[in-house]
């Protein structure tokens, strides 16, 4: 079952998002196990929506890639974001 993460960065901007994505995404593509990625402005900042093949793949990326970038101060996005996570059925 696919897993969706919605991160709402209050006060976040496109420039901050672009800077962070350049560090956590491989050049020209998505991280392994991420199938879709959407981002854009919201009423209060910047929202990122990512679809992963599974919750376990998301958690591995979060713990081994994303959190270390935030902890090292390599991301300028304001945090922590308001996060919503849920499983989804994928129908083709």
Sorting pLDDT into bands at 50, 70 and 90, what band is 9? very high
Sorting pLDDT into bands at 50, 70 and 90, what band is 71? confident
Return mean pLDDT, the chain.
Answer: 93
**H-helix or E-strand containing 35?**
strand 34-41
If DSSP codes are grouped into helix, strand and coil, which group holds residue 92?
Answer: coil
Distance CA 39, CA 23 (A): 16
pTM over 0.85: yes
Distance CA 70, CA 24 (A): 10
Nearest by Cα to 66 from 5, 1, 2: 5
> What percentage of the chain exceeds 90 in pLDDT?
78
């Amino acid at each position: 079952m696919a897993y969706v993460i919605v991160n709402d960065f209050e006060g976040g901007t496109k420039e901050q998002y672009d800077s962070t994505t350049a560090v956590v995404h491989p050049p020209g593509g998505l991280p392994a196990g991420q199938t879709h990625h959407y981002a854009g402005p919201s009423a209060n900042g910047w929202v990122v929506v990512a679809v992963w093949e599974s919750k376990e793949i998301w958690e591995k990326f979060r713990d081994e890639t994303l959190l270390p970038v935030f902890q090292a101060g390599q991301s300028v996005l304001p945090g922590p974001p308001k996060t919503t996570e849920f499983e989804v059925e994928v129908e083709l």
